[in-house]
Amino acid sequence: MIDPNDYLDAALLLHGHRCPAMPLGLRAGAAAMELLGVERSGGKTLEAILELGDGHCAHCFADGVQMITGCTFGKGNIRKLGYGKFGLTLVDRQTGRAVRVVPRAEAQLQSKQTPFFTEYRMKGISPTEVPQAVVQPLIDKVMAAPAEALLRFGEITAWEVVGGDETFGSFVCARCGDMVVDRYARVVNGHTVCIPCEAALHAPA
Ligand SMILES: [Zn+2]
Ligand SMILES: [Zn+2]
């Protein structure tokens, strides 16, 4: 069973500031992994689907999920649906099983009434400028709370796993000299070029 506390320091380093949403992502990811009975994804054995959008309160949640599950932007096994919600569906690609875990609205609303939000974040103060004494109690609370107090758990469902194939083919763009993955190749006047170079060659002079 994965312990979110073991990943908190590394997650703070990745994330760059102290806030309650990132640790909540650690807890949600760990709970989903426990429900599926899976290990952290060193390769692409897991896939994380987040319901988050962009630029809204608490979307720091995603970095906690990345850290604990090993589903990362670089590996391409995490994505956002843009619903502006906090649900996490974790997929075990090896068995085709998935589970959705979502933070409890009550817990998130309670957190929003604390000075971290009312006195700092909602007044436009960057999380990097909030005194540690203000934010640390929120982090401690998220890390210590029973999972059931923080999260709701869905049923384990069957999931159709698609994609995951890798290509190693590449070429050098005839115009800019950058290396490009084969499937992004464009041919202009018999020259194989990258997408921005194709656009540049087609732009009116
Ligand atoms: Zn944050
Ligand atoms: Zn190019």
Question: With 80 as the cut, is the pLDDT of residue 95 above it?
Answer: yes
* Distance from residue 192's CA to the centre of ligand 2 (Å): 9
Q: What is the DSSP string of 149-176?
A: HHEEEEEEEE-----------EEE-TTT
Q: What is the pLDDT of residue 169?
A: 95
Q: Could you report the per-residue pLDDT of 175-189, keeping only the tens digit for each?
A: 999 999 999 999 999
In the chain, pLDDT over 70 holds for what percent of residues?
Answer: 99
Looking at the fold, whether 77 and 20 belong to one and the same domain comes out as yes
Domain co-membership, 176 together with 151: no
Under the phi-then-psi rule, with left for phi > 0, alpha for psi from -120 to 50, and beta for the rest, what region is 134?
A: alpha
Residue 162 has pLDDT above 90, yes or no: no
Residue 164 lies in a domain: no
Cα–ligand 1 centroid distance for 187 (angstroms)? 43
Predicted local confidence at residue 55, as pLDDT = 84
Query: Quick one: 36 and 83 in the same domain?
Result: yes
Quick one: pLDDT band at residue 98, thresholds 50, 70, 90?
Answer: very high
The whole-number pLDDT of residue 101 equals 98
For the segment 156-171, the average pLDDT, to the nearest whole number, is 88
* Sign, Cα dihedral of 151, 152, 158, 163: negative
Asked if 150 contacts 24 with a C-beta cutoff of 8 angstroms, the reply is yes
70 lies in the same domain as 103? yes
Q: Which two tokens stand for residue 104?
A: 């409890």
- Give phi and psi for 12, each to the nearest 5: -65, -40
What residues have their beta carbon closer than 5 A to ion ligand 2?
A: 173, 175-176, 194, 197
Compute the distance from residue 171 Cα to the ligand 2 centre, in Å.
10
Give pLDDT, residue 24.
Answer: 97
pLDDT for the residue 50? 98
- For residue 12, the ligand closest to its alpha carbon is 1
Residue 40 located in a structural domain: yes
Clarify whether residues 177 and 108 are in a common domain: no
Q: Which ligand is nearest to the CA of 57?
A: 1
Based on the structure, what is the number of domains in the chain? 2
pLDDT tens digits for 31-77? 999 999 999 999 999 999 999 998 888 889 999 999 999 999 999 99
- The mean predicted confidence, pLDDT, of the chain is 95
pLDDT at residue number 204 = 82
Is there a domain that residue 163 lies in? no
My answer on whether 44 and 74 are in the same domain is yes
What pLDDT score was predicted for residue 15? Answer: 97
Ligand 1 center–CA 37 separation, angstroms: 28
Q: Which domain holds residue 175?
A: 170-202
138 lies in the same domain as 183: no
CA of 7 to the centre of ligand 1 (A): 15
Distance 73 CA to ligand 2 centre (A): 24
Q: How much is the average pLDDT of 6-28?
A: 97
Q: Using the mean position of ligand 1's atoms as its centre, give its distance from the Cα of residue 18 in Å.
A: 6
Question: The domain that contains 195 carries what CATH number?
Answer: 3.30.60
Same domain, 178 and 94: no
Average pLDDT over residues 155-160: 96
Tell me which residue of 44, 132, 131 sits closest to 93, measured CA to CA: 44
Question: The domain spanning residue 102 has which CATH number?
Answer: 3.30.1330.130
Same structural domain, 174 and 93: no
